Amino acid sequence: MPDGAYNYAYLDEQTKRMIRRAILKAVAVPGYQVPFGGREMPLPYGWGTGGIQVTAAIIGHDDTLKVIDQGADDTTNAVSIRRFFARVANVATTTRTSEASIIQTRHRVPETPLSEGQILVFQVPIPEPLRMLEPRETETRTLHALAEYGVMQVSLYESVTRHGRIAKTYNYPVLVNGRYMMSPSPIPKFDNPKLDRNPALQLYGAGREKRIYAVPPYTSVKSLDFDDHPFEIETWSECCALCGSSESFLDEMIVDDSGKRLFVCSDTDYCEARRK
């Protein structure tokens, strides 16, 4: 089927309108999961259909799009999504965080600080932060409505009891604008502080579960913890083997049979810029 047969950015205008309405509701109630009529997309559920639908609804000719997965521009999923938008939206793409107007991401927040006017679109597998504690949507809906989040604090208590510390590492629950508990998507907790009062707009899309939520610029995002077990991010004793950074999230590579390891920045753009 020739590409000319598809509407701009693949989705028809009615669908884009429906998604934009959902996005507006989400921005108006930070952290609240807005149901939306998600469509089947040419990529499978689990591959970022939610993020793709959000991006498709907001992208225009003037935008510059960056797509990353695990912090890198050239992992297969990021490549696939970037190619998709290049084809159906005829839009400029970039690997430079500072040059992008829309950044769609899976599992990382860019190391380079974002600025006002940028939009960060997260791919979300399970939008419900309480899902593993309470499988029923009918119940979690009520818990959010009544701000009854005791069950999550109980799970953190249990973690300290069992491990001596809060052992949650990614998808670390946060409280947005002092009201709604939110899943920040499976970003490592290392990235949670970046969400707090970020000048950029954060949009979160879950295609399979059909939910959209948002954090407007400069909104408070606080990671849950105990006063005597405060929230901490990951640290490494090594630094990046390529650029020397000791402040970024590092990927661990196994480089030979004997298990020798190397650590490299996960954010490829950040690492490259430091090396120039």
Residues 16-35 that bind another protein (CB under 8 A): 35
**Residue 240 among the catalytic residues:** yes
Q: How are strands ordered across the β-sheet holding 92-93?
A: 34-35, 211-215, 201-206, 119-123, 102-106, 64-69, 92-93
* The one catalytic residue among 50, 71, 207, 265: 265
Amino acid at site 27? V
Residue 213 touches another protein, criterion: CB under 8 A? no
| Among 54, 56, 69, 103, contact with another protein (rule: CB under 8 A) | 69
**Residue 243 among the catalytic residues:** yes
**Closer residue to another protein, CB minimum distance, 64 or 80:** 80
Structure tokens at 242: 């390529």
In 3D, which of 169, 172, 187 has the Cα closest to residue 105? 187
Residue 47 touches another protein, criterion: CB under 8 A? yes
Residue 49: which residues within 8 A CB-CB, separation 6 or more? 38, 40, 41, 43, 205, 207, 208
Give the per-residue contact string, 84-103, with another protein (x = CB under 8 A; - = no). Answer: --------------------
Residue 144 touches another protein, criterion: CB under 8 A? no
**Residue 239 among the catalytic residues:** no
Residue 178 touches another protein, criterion: CB under 8 A? no
- d(CA 244, CA 88) in angstroms, rounded, equals 39
In 3D, which of 207, 217, 21, 29 has the Cα closest to residue 127? 207
Which residue has 């309108």 as its token pair? 17
- d(CA 107, CA 216) in angstroms, rounded, equals 19
Residue 241: which residues within 8 A CB-CB, separation 6 or more? 262, 263, 264
Give the interface size with another protein as a residue count (CB under 8 A).
87
Residue 68 touches another protein, criterion: CB under 8 A? no
**Residue 48 among the catalytic residues:** no
**Residue 265 among the catalytic residues:** yes
* The one catalytic residue among 48, 207, 243, 259: 243
* The one catalytic residue among 31, 48, 205, 207: 31
Residue 236 touches another protein, criterion: CB under 8 A? yes
Residue 274 touches another protein, criterion: CB under 8 A? no
| Among 16, 108, 144, 194, contact with another protein (rule: CB under 8 A) | 108
Which residue has 């934009």 as its token pair? 20
- Residues from 215 through 234 that contact another protein (CB under 8 A): 225-229, 234
Residue 163 touches another protein, criterion: CB under 8 A? yes
* Enzyme catalytic residues: 31, 240, 243, 265, 271
